[in-house]
Amino acid sequence: MNGSDGGPPAEGKFFRILSLDGSGIRGVFPAAFLARLEEHLEHPIGRYFDLIAGTSTGGIIAIGLGLGLSAGDILKLYVEQGPAIFDQEHGAVENWVRQKLRGMAHLFVTKHSSEPLRHALEGVLGRRKIGESRTRLVIPAWHPVLERVYIYKTAHHPRLETDYKQPAIDAAMATAAAPTFLKPHMTESAVELVDGGVWANNPIGVAAIEAIGMLGWPGDRLKILSIGTINEPGRNQLESVVAISRCAHFPATLSALLPTGLVRSSAHCLAAA
């Protein structure tokens, strides 16, 4: 999406928006939830939304969905590489001790190296640009030097002329660079950015403002699915989190968001194993 698509909305049309919260490894829950929904769709779930907003870990998921990745592939990334990225590869007791030590150390140094995250993202995003997204994107970040909001956007309005040329990995690394957790991300354009969660950990407001203020969509024609996260899981708990995500009222979610005929099969709430 590297050209503007502004203009008045079609009369009677509903606009479907996906909003994804931030919170590190906890992103496994929204990824698993979306992957479960996706099982009942004909295409990757990102194609069914008109706008996707995501902060931090939610921003990584949003960018992946926009670039055509399936929620299942994104979930695989979290399950297989999340523990290494977020330092959850140890036993429960050692993880707890390391977490407490990092909590004291955060006053002096960042908790984690950003290299595992960059390596993982390079594997799935490659060198693609934000403008290659098939869905409108809004990805919050923060400029700590100028102390102001920085939002990556696709070119979904004539005023948006630059972000779509930027590497998708820059947006993903920037929105996920949580202060004291990862070092600030220096973009290809030499702009130092940190996690959008500094000001918009739940980006639903950012998404609604973009939809109404920038795109001119009527507020009463918006359907927003906002997905939060749960308590931080350890490596041995990831499978349980995935199982919990399978117990949700999928028929209501699907029917509220998707036009008739897009659902491939009936959905059922599965009890967590």
* Active site positions, annotated: 56, 195
* DSSP state for residue 10 in the 8-state scheme: P
Residue 50 to residue 20: CA distance in whole angstroms: 14
Euclidean distance between CA atoms 100 and 94, whole angstroms: 10
Residues linked to residue 139 through DSSP beta bridges, in sequence order? 152
DSSP strands (E only) in the chain: 15-20, 51-54, 136-143, 148-153, 185-186, 192-195, 222-227
How far is it, in rounded angstroms, from Cα 39 to Cα 10?
29
Residue 142 backbone dihedrals phi, psi, to 5 degrees: -140, 135
CA proximity to 207, closest of 51, 57, 30, 8: 51
CA 60/CA 52 separation, integer angstroms: 11
Answer whether 124's CB lies under 8 Å from 73's CB.
yes
